[in-house]
Amino acid sequence: MTDCKGCSATVHVSSEEIAQLFGETLRIRNVKLTTEEEYDRRMSVCQSCEAYQFGTTCRHCGCLMAVKAKLAAAHCPAPQGSKW
């Protein structure tokens, strides 16, 4: 198993920190968001994926998936092809 691009096993991000980062993203750019249903579907796929680490991060791209899954233009970075 390869390591996450941007993390180590000692890295953990709280729900509050994720919410703060997401708020910063929205303030900086005018981004289109997914519906809550699509967000929930994407996160369900992530949570069942072996590359989802620490309950927050994708091993393939190093992204916080609770943020990335909300962005309408984002895609799953799985090397074999997007799962969502």
- Tens of pLDDT along the chain (84 residues) come to 455 555 555 567 777 877 777 776 666 667 788 999 999 999 999 999 999 998 889 999 988 898 899 899 999 999 999 999
56, 66 Cβ separation under 8 angstroms: yes
Closest C-alpha to 65, from 37, 35, 45: 45
